[in-house]
Amino acid sequence: MAHFKYIGRSRKGERVEGVVDSNDRAGAVRIIESLGHVPVSVNETTKTVNQDGDGETKKRFNFDLGFQRKPKMKLQDLLLFSRELSDLVASGMTIGRALHTLSARKDESAVGQIIVTLRDEIVQGTSLSDALELYPETFSSLYVNLVRAGEASGNLPLALENVCIHYERVQDARSKVFSALVYPAIVMIVGGIAVIGLMIFIVPKFANTFDEMGATLPKPTLALMSISNFVTRYGLILVGLITAGVIFLKKWVKHGNGQQIWHRVQLKIPIMGAVITTNAYAHFARTFGTLLQNGVSILPALGIVQKTIDNVIISEEVGNAQARVTDGASISKPLAQGKVFPRLMIDMLAVGEETGDMAGALTHITRRYDTELDRLVRTCTTVLEPLLIVLVAIVVGGIAVCLLLPVLTLTDSLHV
């Protein structure tokens, strides 16, 4: 296949140029016209689009060297892109035409840059799955393998639809967990600001008043004054130390032993640990089932699933199960050996293996743990809301009582 460099005009009259691959010049002209350009000159060249000085590879070279960040889609953008691409392909469009339609919006954001690159790669004859691998931070191995399975089976529209359904369910599960944490976080932030405000602005005024009166202060009040004095004098240093500690901990829990310890602790936190494990089980069943339904075999599917689970303890157990699988079909016994996955889930997988309907069993498991996740999120919200309100009330009330104790003591002495 030859390479043809072209110069043309877009529909808006703007000058465009690039390189396309085709068997002959007439085919190159047709490709250029399919991109929505009017060719002015088309000449055979030895350069490909990835070798061209103004082409995408030069940009990728810069990305890889770190001079410029590689574009990345957010999950919401990825969902929208996947849904629109799926709808266009399902309507009968080719992948190249569908991507060209999406790129015609002239979007300068990361989404637009990625779509333009994918379109150009498809025009050059690259498969969609290979083109997606150019952006691993956006398109996970799960996404790429589902698309590759759809290309191999000749049913890419169904594969794209399955991708959309999967990521919509993942987004829904994340939203449930996030919603359970929003209200407690707001209560803690507001309560913390209130306590800090009392310690910095209110308590020192009472301290000056008590000093002028020469009153003998109770021990709780003296302790409160000491804490207030420390916060007022060394508050900025304390904030700096806390910030440095948080940054250090965040880095520590992202790698190696720190990550192992933190993720293991997460699983043991009351209620929240149950939310994390239930979400992981639902994600495992959903992802594994989606891969099997799209023709991916068990061993590669387990490898993909392992990469998509956030908790390293559960993720490593999936990897261990993959190593234990010997016959390429049975998965329930290897998973049971690790004693991380619940017995109910193992039994349901075993039934799926016996009936030959593993994908159906995984669908039931997903539905069961999605329902359990909903219940746990509601429980978490129901328990944490009043608990945090009471905690904040106790702290603020304790400060108020400590400030009122000297006043009550003085009042009693006046009566005497």
More confident of the two residues 81 and 380: 81
Whole-angstrom Cα distance, residue 151 to residue 18?
27
More confident of the two residues 263 and 125: 263
Question: What number of residues does the chain have?
Answer: 416
Q: Two tokens at 294?
A: 């799209």
Whole-angstrom Cα distance, residue 168 to residue 75?
10
What digits encode the pLDDT tens for the residues 274-299?
888 888 898 888 888 888 887 778 88
- The last residue of one of the domains, among 110, 142, 167, is 167
Tally of CB atoms within 10 A around 408: 11
23 with 75, same domain?
no
pTM of the shown model: 0.61
The residue-averaged pLDDT of 405-411 equals: 74
Range of the domain at 116: 57-167
67 with 154, same domain?
yes
8 with 33, same domain?
yes
- The last residue of one of the domains, among 113, 140, 167, is 167
Confirm whether 403 is domain-assigned: no
76 with 141, same domain?
yes
Compute φ and ψ for 18, nearest 5 degrees.
Answer: 175, -170
Above pLDDT 90, what percent of the chain? 5
The residue-averaged pLDDT of 389-405 equals: 86
Sign of the C-alpha dihedral computed for residues 355, 359, 364 and 366 taken in this order? positive
Instruction: Please give the pLDDT value at position 365.
Output: 92
Instruction: Please give the pLDDT value at position 69.
Output: 61
Q: Which residues contact 399 (CB under 8 A, 6 or more apart)?
A: 195, 198, 199, 203, 224
Amino acid at 191: G
Whole-angstrom Cα distance, residue 347 to residue 234?
58
31 with 94, same domain?
no
Whole-angstrom Cα distance, residue 359 to residue 35?
40
Confirm whether 296 is domain-assigned: no
Confirm whether 162 is domain-assigned: yes
- The last residue of one of the domains, among 138, 167, 196, is 167
Under 8 Å between Cβ of 174 and 283 = no
What digits encode the pLDDT tens for the residues 128-144?
988 898 888 888 887 88
What CATH number does the domain containing 29 carry? 3.10.20
How far apart, in Å, are the Cα atoms of 377 and each of 31, 171, 175, 176, 183?
52, 15, 10, 7, 12
The residue-averaged pLDDT of 363-383 equals: 84
Whole-angstrom Cα distance, residue 104 to residue 14?
13
Instruction: Please give the pLDDT value at position 58.
Output: 40
Amino acid at 178: F
Instruction: Please give the pLDDT value at position 410.
Output: 66
73 with 156, same domain?
yes
What digits encode the pLDDT tens for the residues 182-197?
777 888 888 888 888 8
Confirm whether 269 is domain-assigned: no
Instruction: Please give the pLDDT value at position 72.
Output: 85
138 with 105, same domain?
yes
162 with 65, same domain?
yes
Confirm whether 198 is domain-assigned: no
- For 88-143, the DSSP string reads HHHTT--HHHHHHHHHTT---SHHHHHHHHHHHHHHTT--HHHHHTT-TTTS-HHH
16 with 86, same domain?
no
163 with 72, same domain?
yes
- Strands of the 38-45 sheet, one edge to the other: 15-22, 2-9, 38-45
Q: Would the pLDDT of 62 be above 50?
A: no
User: Any idea of the CA torsion for 394, 397, 403, 408, to the nearest 10 degrees?
Assistant: -110
- For 248-304, the DSSP string reads HHHHHTTSHHHHHHHHHHHHHSTTHHHHHHHHHHHHHHHHHHHHHHTT--HHHHHHH
Tally of CB atoms within 10 A around 54: 10
Confirm whether 353 is domain-assigned: no
Helix axes 272-293, 358-415, angle to 10 degrees: 160
Nearest alpha-carbon partner for 101 in 197, 35, 199: 35
pLDDT band for position 26 (cuts 50, 70, 90): confident
**Residue 247 is inside which H or E element, if any?**
helix 219-252
pLDDT band for position 110 (cuts 50, 70, 90): confident
What CATH number does the domain containing 82 carry? 1.20.81.30
107 with 81, same domain?
yes
CA atoms within 13 A on the CB side of 232: 16
Q: Would the pLDDT of 392 be above 90?
A: no
Instruction: Please give the pLDDT value at position 51.
Output: 43
SS3 9: strand
44 with 132, same domain?
no
SS3 70: coil
User: Any idea of the CA torsion for 323, 326, 332, 333, to the nearest 10 degrees?
Assistant: -90
How far apart, in Å, are the Cα atoms of 48 and each of 125, 139, 252, 318, 335?
12, 25, 45, 42, 48
Confirm whether 146 is domain-assigned: yes
User: What is the rounded average pLDDT for all residues in the chain?
Assistant: 80
Confirm whether 118 is domain-assigned: yes
Q: Two tokens at 141?
A: 């191995």
pLDDT band for position 64 (cuts 50, 70, 90): very low
The number of folded domains in the chain is 2
| Highest-confidence segment of 21-35, 174-188, 220-234 | 220-234
